């Protein structure tokens, strides 16, 4: 397993948007990022900052939004199986090594029902990591997933720029933190 680099100072000092409380209106969710890892039973979503030759793999959907590959865990699906499936579906990529977990958003939703019946409710977690990947195919674009129209490897700075165009500064800070931990 790849080890994460030790940081000279707490990341909260350098990445205030990432560590600030967040409201995700699309899911009625209040979320807070932290570097601790949640219990497996709370993890509903897994996402990856995938590096290939020092660049970050991004996906663009049919609505023009850039995002990091990852998504919703299926019932009883192990974390690594979900990550491998989502990488193939959204980026046409595969893991070259074990992911290094950067942290997670712990979340509480005010929606009356879970997103999927098997998910924990109302508390849940989004797990974020980084790893080396290889883009060796096209996204499989399952009918029930985001429709990816472009996969691009860009510098971490370019990834931060593309991801923050929707005024969500924490996305760029997440990429910067992963690049810093990667060393």
Position 3 scores a pLDDT of 63
- Give pLDDT tens digits for 48-85: 999 999 999 999 999 999 999 999 999 999 999 999 99
Position 146 scores a pLDDT of 87
Which are the contacts of 53, defined by CB distance < 8 A and separation ≥ 6? 153
For residue 142, give both structure tokens. Answer: 């399952």
The pTM (predicted TM-score) of the whole model is 0.93
- Nearest-angstrom CA–CA distance, 115 and 101: 24
- Give pLDDT tens digits for 14-48: 999 999 999 999 899 999 999 999 999 999 999 99
Position 27 scores a pLDDT of 92
Q: How far apart are the first and last CA of the chain?
A: 15
pLDDT band at 145 (very low <50, low <70, confident <90, very high): confident
Strands of 35-122, DSSP E: 43-52, 55-61, 66-67, 70-72, 93-95, 100-109
- Give pLDDT tens digits for 3-16: 667 777 899 999 99
In order of start, what are the domains of the chain with their CATH numbers? Answer: 14-182 (3.90.79.10)
pLDDT band at 168 (very low <50, low <70, confident <90, very high): confident
Cα atoms found within 13 Å of the Cα of residue 57, Cβ hemisphere only: 29
């Amino acid at each position: 397993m790849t080890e994460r680099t030790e940081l000279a100072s707490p990341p909260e000092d350098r990445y205030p948007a990432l560590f600030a409380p967040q409201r995700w209106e699309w899911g009625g969710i209040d979320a807070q990022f932290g570097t601790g890892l949640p219990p497996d039973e709370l993890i509903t979503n897994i996402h990856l900052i995938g590096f290939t030759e020092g660049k970050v793999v991004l996906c663009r959907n049919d609505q023009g939004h850039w995002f990091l590959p990852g998504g919703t865990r299926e019932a009883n699906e192990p974390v690594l199986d979900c990550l491998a499936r989502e990488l193939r579906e959204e980026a046409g990529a595969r893991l070259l090594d074990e992911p290094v977990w950067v942290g997670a958003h712990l979340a509480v939703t005010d929606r009356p029902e879970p997103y999927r019946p098997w998910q924990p409710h109302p508390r849940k977690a989004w797990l974020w990591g980084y790893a080396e990947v290889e883009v060796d195919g096209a996204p499989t674009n399952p009918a029930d997933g985001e429709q990816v129209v472009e996969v691009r490897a860009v510098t971490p700075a370019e990834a931060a720029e593309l991801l923050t165009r929707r005024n969500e500064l924490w996305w760029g800070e997440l990429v910067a933190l992963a690049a810093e931990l990667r060393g």
